[in-house]
Amino acid sequence: MRIARDVTELIGNTPLVWLHRMAEGLHARVAGKLESFNPASSVKDRIGLAMIEAAERAGRITKDTVILEPTSGNTGIALAFVCAARGYKLVLTMPQQFENPANPEVHRRTTAEEIWRDTDGQVDIVVAGVGTGGTITGVAEAIKGRKPACKAIAVEPIESAVLTGGKPGSHGIQGIGAGFIPKVLNREIVDEVIHVGTRDAKPREEVPQVRRTRGSGELGCGDMAVEEAGLPV
């Protein structure tokens, strides 16, 4: 029978889907990875499970352990349902930094492998928002290890553009833009940073427009490229 032992076994192996309308007029084929297919509807489900499993392997969790984690959003939700499934107690606090190595590691081991498998290794550009920095770090490190020409594009709120030397500020985009540079982020692996405004990030009929922070011409690898002007993500 194909029945999951518990909800944590349903994490990962999310599908890729071609974004035809969003990529209309571009020289690139653009696909989105539907991390909303995870049990708690977030990419953070991966790291919630990975961090708990890493602590279990290290013998740091017992039946009396109270797990304390700094998080401001979906990581906390992920940890909450993983801990509920395992019977652990959990306390969440507001973060000062993100530095758990299990975060990028699970993306090297799962997310990157899924992207590589589902694209038959033809992925040329990876675009990811930066919250903890774990997704883009893990995915880019793993894929660039096999395909050095692949580009890694980070996305941050224009109102809090700290990755490009700006000042932290308030914004309305949940999940990214913590207002500081996370320790877990490998800045050397990032080729470009794109800014997106809160207004453009909200759901609407038109494709939101973002702007490149530097460079000119086109950004691409191999025979695929993303045009600078009006780049949709």
User: Is residue 39 situated within a structural domain?
Assistant: no
User: Is residue 57 situated within a structural domain?
Assistant: no
Residue 89: active-site member: no
* pLDDT of amino acid 71: 84
CA distance 55 to 150: 33
User: What's the mean per-residue pLDDT of the chain?
Assistant: 86
User: Is residue 137 situated within a structural domain?
Assistant: yes
Name the band, by pLDDT with cuts 50, 70 and 90, for residue 45.
very high
User: Is residue 210 situated within a structural domain?
Assistant: yes
pLDDT in tens, 9-21: 999 999 999 999 8
User: DSSP labels for 62-131?
Assistant: -TT-EEEEE-SSHHHHHHHHHHHHHT-EEEEE--S----THHHHHIIIIIHHHHHHHTTT---EEEEE-S
User: Is residue 66 situated within a structural domain?
Assistant: no
Angle between helices 44-57 and 74-86 (to 10 degrees): 50
- Residue 51 phi/psi, 5-degree rounding, is -65, -40
User: Is residue 185 situated within a structural domain?
Assistant: yes
pLDDT in tens, 77-120: 999 999 999 999 999 998 778 889 999 999 999 999 999 999 99
Residue range of the domain that includes 211:
7-31+104-232
User: Is residue 89 situated within a structural domain?
Assistant: no
- Residue 226 phi/psi, 5-degree rounding, is -115, 125
223 pLDDT exceeds 70? Answer: no
Q: Please answer whether residues 138 and 111 qualify as being in contact, where contact means their C-beta atoms are separated by less than 8 angstroms.
A: yes
CA distance 12 to 108: 12
* pLDDT of amino acid 201: 79
Both tokens assigned to 207: 């494709």
CA distance 164 to 152: 15
Owner of token pair 């498998």:
117
Name the band, by pLDDT with cuts 50, 70 and 90, for residue 22.
confident
Owner of token pair 């973060």:
95
* pLDDT of amino acid 229: 28
User: Is residue 145 situated within a structural domain?
Assistant: yes
Identify the active-site residue in 33, 44, 63, 147: 44
CATH at residue 188:
3.40.50.1100
215 pLDDT exceeds 90? Answer: no
* pLDDT of amino acid 146: 97
Q: What is the number of H-type helices and E-type strands within the chain? A: 6, 11
Q: How many domains in the chain?
A: 1
